[in-house]
Amino acid sequence: MSDEKRDISDVAATGRPWRLVTEPMHVAERNAKPENEIRPSSPSEQRMFDPSSRRIARLPDQVRTDAATSRPFRVSFLDDIATGLLDTDLVVIGAQTGAGKTTLASILAQTAAAAGARVHYLALEAHEGEIEMRMLFRIMARMAWERRIAAPEELVRFTYGRWRHGRCEEVVSRVERDAMQELTQATSTMSTLYRTGRFRTADLVGRILGVSGQSDLIVLDHLHFLDDGDEDEIRAMRRTVKAISDAIQDARTPVVAIAHLRKMDTRIKRVVPHISEFHGSSDITKVATKVITLAPVERPRAAHYIADTFLHVSKDRLEGEQNYTAIVGFDLRSYSYLPRYELGRLVKGGSEWQELPIAEVPWWAVHERRRS
């Protein structure tokens, strides 16, 4: 069976509405050029100079189009500081293992789908159905607390891990049916794709282009699980992020991609990962339009069901660099971020966080906890 036929059959077997438009792998390899080879583009690839006056005339329509397609993150701090997602955005999320990368990405997907957005989720790391399981658990946890079906000290033991091990049947039996119904309705515009074998950059680009005009958000979970077989990992990642960026421009659909960080240097203390800590090529953050890093806050909890998290926008191509970091409460009762946050700055080389005096809180921070 050819590479092309095998890939098409893999897509058909998933039963997902993904359309494959990439070329066969053997054709791509045959046509590949050395990275350092410089050659003139063909006439069909060339773009001619265009008078600026002509471009200027189109600017009002372009801005209106951007405004019409802008979508919120639905995490208050991210919407306050970075405004939202445009259809040409490549947003990269980075954190150390277990710090909440997939949780944040799946929340963005779930809340977008619940609001009617067409979402496509590529789960390259997760096992079959895991993303939907996490979404179902979030709804069940919220319902259990809202309905107070058990004492708080019992509900706090209702965790995703214990649920997966079958240790919470008394709670689950009282909310599962309603949660299933809500999740089915909330994700009616969402599709998922789980990796069952080798998945290459060409496959990813094919999926992005394949849902052009049919998707409002694509989530890639995650970037470092692409199998391109290049022994030079940095070179492979450089090609990957550039290919993703080009596909986004063609498809006009924003992509949120999760990425690994390098192992922490124990000699350097930072409360939030630095933009330079992403694993692989520096092109990851150079090509991205927005870069978000997060980390747990190491301090006593204000409540046993609130886990504080640092959120930092390391890069925003539209707004520029902003030296602000928020502490956002993650509510374990609903597995969602609280709307109010504490705003501060990283000081002492990023080793400490310091809350801003109220007089220095910027105008855009409308959900800062001290704002009325």
The whole-number pLDDT of residue 314 equals: 92
Maximum mean pLDDT: which of 160-164, 271-275, 279-283: 160-164
The whole-number pLDDT of residue 17 equals: 44
Domain ranges of the chain: 74-360
The whole-number pLDDT of residue 1 equals: 45
The whole-number pLDDT of residue 46 equals: 58
Q: Is the pLDDT assigned to residue 13 strictly greater than 50? A: no
What does the pLDDT look like over 293-310, one tens digit per residue? Answer: 999 998 888 888 899 999
The whole-number pLDDT of residue 47 equals: 64
The pLDDT-based confidence of 121 (bands split at 50, 70, 90) is very high
Q: Give the residue-averaged pLDDT of 306-322.
A: 90
Q: Is the pLDDT assigned to residue 3 strictly greater than 70? A: no
The pLDDT-based confidence of 348 (bands split at 50, 70, 90) is very high
The pLDDT-based confidence of 22 (bands split at 50, 70, 90) is very low
Percent of the chain at pLDDT > 90 equals 60
Average pLDDT, the chain: 85
pTM, two decimal places: 0.83
- Mean pLDDT is lowest, of 35-49, 174-188, 196-210, for 35-49
- Mean pLDDT is lowest, of 9-23, 148-162, 189-203, for 9-23
Strands 90-94 and 119-123 come out as unpaired
Percent of the chain at pLDDT > 70 equals 86
- Mean pLDDT is lowest, of 95-99, 203-207, 285-289, 327-331, for 95-99
Q: Is the pLDDT assigned to residue 29 strictly greater than 60? A: no
Q: Give the residue-averaged pLDDT of 359-369.
A: 94
Q: Give the residue-averaged pLDDT of 238-245.
A: 91
The whole-number pLDDT of residue 120 equals: 96
Q: Looking at domain 74-360, which of 3.40.630.30, 3.40.50.280, 3.40.50.300, 3.40.109.10 is its CATH number?
A: 3.40.50.300
The whole-number pLDDT of residue 129 equals: 93
Q: Is the pLDDT assigned to residue 188 strictly greater than 50? A: yes
The whole-number pLDDT of residue 133 equals: 95
The pLDDT-based confidence of 45 (bands split at 50, 70, 90) is low
